[in-house]
Amino acid sequence: MNGILRVKALPRVVTFLNHEVTDDPTLSGFQIKAALPYKHTLEEFDKNLAQIRLSRMRPLLVDQIDFNSPGKFLMLTFDDGGKSACYIADQLEKKDGKNIFSL
């Protein structure tokens, strides 16, 4: 070779991490300070979905991503969703026209 190191392009995965969607985080989920960044208000969650809709990326299930090919991929993750799981599923259905959330 001519001294040029060729590096295989890897996929880039953007993930929105969620645990709860609630306007009162004290009523649901883990009640420790470390859990708070993953709890979102209803307004924050709706704004996130609106921004995703405006982007060119669409959320995918993990088994839809080819980790051997370059590209940009978006995933929404929910650590059980707690009491808000049904609300989350309903919002994804309404906003995205499909439900990628499995209970």
pLDDT digits (tens, 9 = 90+) for 42-74: 999 999 888 888 888 888 888 888 888 888 888
Q: Which residue has the higher pLDDT, 55 or 80?
A: 55
Average pLDDT over the chain reads 81
Query: How many angstroms separate the CA atoms of 5 and 81, rounded?
Result: 44
- Measured CA to CA, the distance from residue 73 to residue 82 in angstroms comes to 26
Q: What pLDDT is attached to residue 66?
A: 87
Q: Where residue 99 falls among pLDDT bands split at 50, 70, 90?
A: low
- Give pLDDT, residue 47: 92
Contact criterion met (CB below 8 Å) for 54 and 96 = no
For residue 68, the 8-state DSSP code is T
